[in-house]
Amino acid sequence: MKMLFSMPNEFATGWLTAGFNFWRSLPVAGGSAMTVVDADGKEVCPATPAPLDAAMRAGVTCWQQQTTLWSGAIGGIAGTLPAPEPVVEPARGDRRFHAKDWSSNAWYSLLKQSYLINSRMLADIVEASTLDEKEKHKLRFFTRQFIDLASPANFAATNPEVIQQALESSGSSLFAGLTHLLEDVKQGAVSITDRGAFEVGRSVAASQGSVVFENDLFQLIQYAPLTASVARRPLLIVPPCINKFYILDLQPDNSFVRFAVEQGLTVFIVSWRNPDADMADTRWDAYLDEGVMKAIEVARAITRADKVNTLGWCVGGTMLSSALAVMRANGDESVASVTLLTALLDFSDPGDLGVFIDELGVSMRERTIGRGGLYPGKELGFVFQALRANELIWPYVVNNYLKGNKPAAFDLLYWNADTTNLPGPMYSWYLRNMYLENNLRVPGKLTMCGTPVDLGRVDMPSYLLATQEDHIVPWQSAWRSMQLLGGEREFVLGESGHIAGVVNPASKNKRGYRTNRGAGGSAEAWFKSSEKQSGSWWNHWITWVKQHAGDSVKARTTPGNAKYPPIEPAPGRYVKALAD
């Protein structure tokens, strides 16, 4: 299908380039030698120059395991011998082979184990390459994509559950799967949730509030108070512009917005406009000047507070920090504190997203959409899905197309599928100056809104949250912000990943987080001396932010003010616009 098999250019060129570079990196002569022997000490292959040693060892191990597997499996398949003990087992948490037949049926057990053995060999060969770490990361990533695709669980003829369901339904499951496939081809994306199960403004993004300001870039939502008194200083939330804001306001029991309001904060949130042709020329500076800084100004004016507390998530955190650097350089002291949730300021290790970033790719973006145009939200959404293909692509291919089932209703995945476009000039500038050249961390290297920026000038208290299993913002990279920002800093490490680690409701008391009052000389040193805390980081954060929220005042039940009257009820029009 279009989005599944016509991958973005970065995928195709990246996999081929990484593979070519690997084989080019292997020497044909020279280096130390080794001799591979079997368990009895018999030479299996002649002395081989390094670094082919490890690659050859991986091949020999694969050959030995396959020999053991097939010799034991033949009798099991024929029914003359009991099923042998497995040679290899799936990794813990691998859900692809949970069905009983993958273990009890000799044929399917053979398929599974043969696949796992070959997969391990490919992974070991990648690790044996002499590529530099950045190129090896690319090769590792694209090899994993191939390994994930090749799983026997992904094909109707080799998946016992698919075959059983087809037999029991007299083929109707396959027909239903074909129908689902054609529907997804039409919409250009793999369905990962029941799109009809949720409605923005009713079942998600349903917290009561009003839009109190709007321009061509964003709407500002002010939420209704849920307490008789509130802190004098409000909280302004800047979500990423690459997704919609309601990840922080999904449903009442997992809404960060509602939690903050229940704790006595006046909450404002930026709802970015989903870019269309009218925004094709919008640049990074506009997101700071007409976006973040304008939102701070309006929130402060409505509440008549001396200062506001701010929070940015992911790219929203990068934009917020950039805007604060501009403001502080110009003597603006209207922000009391800053909270950054899984945000990058130092892009030296950008995680798996880094495999898509190189000079060739960025230059191509600059030539095509950098002077005007849009980066499609569906393409960006597919890239994020590919980062975790075994969780966000292949299970839905099997469930939707091979089994003929409909995906379940899941609010987080509904949000994930509700994509947004990006203005080409803004996106291209962001790729080059953040991911490719890592300029933000260098004081004075970048000029934004006419002002040279220095993150060290961001000297208000800061709360930095990272998550241990984050594949988009590695926690060690998020920790580097401790070395860039000025002022008092608090670093907290939550469990789970980029989304689930942040959306961890306090009421459910799940997971945990780590704290360490000492700064530590490195991320590893910080972790080693940190202490694990139970429950949600939300409770830890609310205690911290209230220290900067001022005294209590009577809650105002009327949103906005004379200058900024209510425009429409929350969540407003902008969040409901779909990416074309």
Q: Which class for 98: exposed (0-12), middle (13-18), buried (19 or more C-beta within 10 A)?
A: exposed
Strand pairing class (335-341; 462-467): parallel
The Cα 268–Cα 548 span in angstroms is: 16
The Cα 539–Cα 15 span in angstroms is: 43
Angle at 356 between CA 351 and CA 358, to 5 degrees: 105
Mean pLDDT of the chain: 89
Residue 78: the pLDDT is: 59
Question: Residue 89 pLDDT > 60, yes or no?
Answer: yes
CA 569 from chain centre, in angstroms, equals 30
Closest CA to 267 of 252, 253, 277, 257: 257
Q: What is the 8-class DSSP label of residue 292?
A: I
Residue 282: the pLDDT is: 98
Angle in degrees, 0-180, between the axes of helices 160-168 and 172-187, rounded to the nearest 10: 110
Residue 573: the pLDDT is: 97
Given a contact cutoff of 8 angstroms between Cβ atoms, the answer to whether 435 and 350 are in contact is yes
Phi first, then psi: give them for residue 512, nearest 5 degrees. -170, -170
Task: Give the mean model confidence (pLDDT) for residues 517-535.
Answer: 88
Question: Residue 257 pLDDT > 90, yes or no?
Answer: yes
Query: Is the pLDDT higher at 11 or at 82?
Result: 82
Residue 495: the pLDDT is: 96
Residue 85: pLDDT band with limits 50, 70, 90: confident
Residue 340's contacts (CB-CB under 8 Å, 6 or more residues apart) are 311, 312, 313, 317, 320, 321, 462, 463, 464, 465, 478, 481
Residue 2: the pLDDT is: 38
Query: Is the pLDDT higher at 4 or at 335?
Result: 335
Task: Give the mean model confidence (pLDDT) for residues 90-105.
Answer: 91
Residue 58: pLDDT band with limits 50, 70, 90: confident
Question: Residue 424 pLDDT > 70, yes or no?
Answer: yes
SS (H, E, C) 453-508: CCHHHCCCCEEEEEECCCCCCCHHHHHHHHHCCCCCEEEEEECCCCCCCCCCCHHH
pLDDT in tens, 175-219: 999 999 999 999 888 999 998 899 999 999 999 999 999 999 999
Question: Residue 10 pLDDT > 60, yes or no?
Answer: no
Residue 580: the pLDDT is: 73
Residue 42: the pLDDT is: 52
Question: Residue 537 pLDDT > 90, yes or no?
Answer: yes
Task: Give the mean model confidence (pLDDT) for residues 566-574.
Answer: 98
Question: Residue 538 pLDDT > 80, yes or no?
Answer: yes
Query: Is the pLDDT higher at 110 or at 58?
Result: 110
Q: What is the 8-class DSSP label of residue 199?
A: -
Residue 93: pLDDT band with limits 50, 70, 90: confident
Cα dihedral 526, 530, 536, 540 sign: negative
Residue 61: the pLDDT is: 87
Q: Can you list the domains of the chain with their CATH numbers?
A: 2-157 (no CATH), 209-359+412-576 (3.40.50.1820)
Question: Residue 474 pLDDT > 70, yes or no?
Answer: yes
Distance (Å) of CA 423 to CA 282, 361, 368, 380, 429: 6, 17, 12, 12, 10
Question: Residue 29 pLDDT > 60, yes or no?
Answer: no
Question: Residue 461 pLDDT > 60, yes or no?
Answer: yes
Residue 77: pLDDT band with limits 50, 70, 90: low
Query: Is the pLDDT higher at 432 or at 134?
Result: 432
Residue 4: the pLDDT is: 41
Question: Residue 361 pLDDT > 70, yes or no?
Answer: yes
- The alpha carbons of the chain give a radius of gyration, in whole angstroms, of 27
Phi first, then psi: give them for residue 59, nearest 5 degrees. -65, -40
Residue 333: the pLDDT is: 96
Task: Give the mean model confidence (pLDDT) for residues 274-285.
Answer: 97
Helix (H) or strand (E) holding 364: helix 359-368
Closest CA to 268 of 579, 577, 564: 564
Residue 56: the pLDDT is: 82
Query: Is the pLDDT higher at 52 or at 80?
Result: 52
Q: Which residues face 462 on adjacent strands?
A: 338, 489
Distance (Å) of CA 35 to CA 32, 49, 53, 167, 250: 11, 10, 8, 52, 59
Share of the chain above pLDDT 90, in %: 76
Residue 134: the pLDDT is: 86
Catalogue the active-site residues.
Answer: 314
Angle at 336 between CA 332 and CA 341, to 5 degrees: 110
Residue 484: pLDDT band with limits 50, 70, 90: very high
Residue 58's contacts (CB-CB under 8 Å, 6 or more residues apart) are 120, 121, 124, 125, 128
Task: Give the mean model confidence (pLDDT) for residues 78-85.
Answer: 61
Task: Give the mean model confidence (pLDDT) for residues 432-453.
Answer: 97
Residue type, 118: N
Question: Residue 382 pLDDT > 70, yes or no?
Answer: yes
